[in-house]
Amino acid sequence: MEDYESDNGRMLFAGVYASDIAEEFGTPVYVTDEKKLRENYRRIHGVFAKEMDTVVNYACKANSNLAILRILEEEGSHIDAVSVGEVESCLKAGFTADRILYTGVNVSNEELKAVSELDVMINIDSESELERLAEINPGHKISIRINPGVGSGHSDAVITGKRGTKFGIPSERAIDVYARANDLGFDIRGIHAHIGSGGSDIYPFMDAAEILSELTNEIKDIGVDLEFIDIGGGFGVPYKMNEDPMSLEELAIEVTDIIKMQTDVETLYIEPGRYIVADTTVLLTKCVNIKDLGTKKFVGVDAGMNNLVRPAMYGSHHHVAIADKFGKACTAKYDVVGPICETGDYLAHDRVLPNPAEGDIVVVYTAGAYGFSMSSNYNMRPQCREVLVNDGKAELIRDVQPMEDLWKHQIVPERLRK
């Protein structure tokens, strides 16, 4: 991973001083570089499309801000959505229903009805879901999610393709389920597997492509021709300074070779979330409190696990720096901790930093994927602002949440009112 440029010790984010953005919009604030977002989309689409006709379904769970969705809609992306809320957000952002694939897990009849009425293709996760959809909307366009028994991911909590997880239909049941879907009269378009998130090794993706290719041929033998093979998302990105990116080119060549050599399917679907948005965005937070316990030093900041839960939830590493102390000598090791009343509320452990002081702007890197989208109102803290930088100009794309929002849907029974 490469560091940002700086000018006289001041970090530049997409040509703008990071601390100026913090000053103008307040902290904590997520800041996204539009140019980088467009480049990431074009790179991943280009690398795969060079080998085979490829549809990129951006996994919008990673970041579903409407401005981000608008940019990706302009770029020609399609969508992987996991809820009616995501489907509706993408429709609102201008995606047409035929550019959205819905992949839910433990889907209720209400959700199946809502999604199918929006005319969005449904990626079936279980045999029960298939039977229930046949009652609700027979003949709907579908794909089927297979659990290939191959997993990958940065943490056990995000490995989905292994046996024993709640996702998909085990590969040994696949042929029966496709036959059943055919008997039920569904419009069957594809086959899907998502093995997990944030893996950097290309072999599990190749194994999954092998399994999906073999199944595609067996499915053809029972009279169902598939239009696409969907290998899911999960392509890892570097979070540490000395980490190299995974070789997307190699991955694209290997996976498409397997599919082209073994099947006559012409279209590949991929579902990157993290790859497209992770490194487009930083979280800017202000140091509000320095605490030195002798044995331990803390940089207390105004962003916590309510804003970015990944370090607390998965032990994830996010690089941190001080915006206006670039290139300054590091003085000691610190934990960067937030305002949430939990010991586990940290953004970074044991980081050497250049003499942090109250008022400094701390930059949390690679925060664009599963950053804002997993944020919460824990401790009754409003969700923070989001800003988009383009052509040297910073624009607000989400305002800070008013406290009123946090109370709006709560009801105090009449008898308890004061």
Q: Does 59 bind ligand LLP (CB under 6 A)?
A: yes
Count of Cβ atoms closer than 10 Å to residue 207 Cβ: 19
Shortest distance (Å) from residue 270 CB to ligand LLP: 9
Nearer to ligand LLP, 318 or 381 (CB): 318
Among 33, 80, 129, 386, binds ligand LLP (CB under 6 A): 80
Among positions 93-112, residues that touch ligand LLP (CB under 6 A) are 103
Mention every residue, 6+ apart, whose C-beta is less than 8 A from residue 219: 174, 175, 178, 191, 226
Q: Does 198 bind ligand LLP (CB under 6 A)?
A: yes
Specify the stretch interacting with ligand LLP by CB under 6 A; choose among 93-101, 258-266, 269-277, 399-407: 269-277
Shortest distance (Å) from residue 412 CB to ligand LLP: 34
Shortest distance (Å) from residue 309 CB to ligand LLP: 8
CA 126 to centroid of chain Cα atoms: 23
Nearer to ligand LLP, 43 or 297 (CB): 43
Nearer to ligand LLP, 21 or 211 (CB): 211
Interface mask (CB under 6 A) for ligand LLP, residues 202-241, using x and -?
Answer: ------------------------------xxxx------
Number of H helices, E strands in the chain: 12, 21
Shortest distance (Å) from residue 344 CB to ligand LLP: 16
Q: Does 386 bind ligand LLP (CB under 6 A)?
A: no
Q: Does 269 bind ligand LLP (CB under 6 A)?
A: no
Cβ atoms of 102 and 82 closer than 8 Å: yes
Phi-psi label, residue 380: left if phi above 0, alpha if psi -120 to 50, beta otherwise: left
Q: Does 58 bind ligand LLP (CB under 6 A)?
A: no
Regarding beta strands 10-13 and 6-7, do their DSSP bridges make them parallel or antiparallel, or are they unpaired? antiparallel
Respond yes or no: is residue 287 known to be catalytic.
no
79 burial via Cβ count (<10 Å: 0-12, 13-18, 19+): buried
Cβ atoms of 32 and 13 closer than 8 Å: no
Nearer to ligand LLP, 160 or 285 (CB): 160
Mention every residue, 6+ apart, whose C-beta is less than 8 A from residue 190: 123, 143, 144, 226, 227, 228, 229, 230, 269
Specify the stretch interacting with ligand LLP by CB under 6 A; choose among 92-100, 191-199, 319-327, 345-353: 191-199
Shortest distance (Å) from residue 278 CB to ligand LLP: 8
CB burial of 169-206 (b: ≥16 within 10 Å; e: otherwise) equals bebebbeebbeebeebebebbbbbbbbbbbbbebebbb
Among positions 276-335, residues that touch ligand LLP (CB under 6 A) are 310
373 burial via Cβ count (<10 Å: 0-12, 13-18, 19+): middle
Interface positions with ligand LLP (CB under 6 A): 59, 61-62, 80, 103, 158, 194, 197-198, 232-235, 271-275, 310, 369-370, 374
Indicate which residues carry an active-site annotation.
341
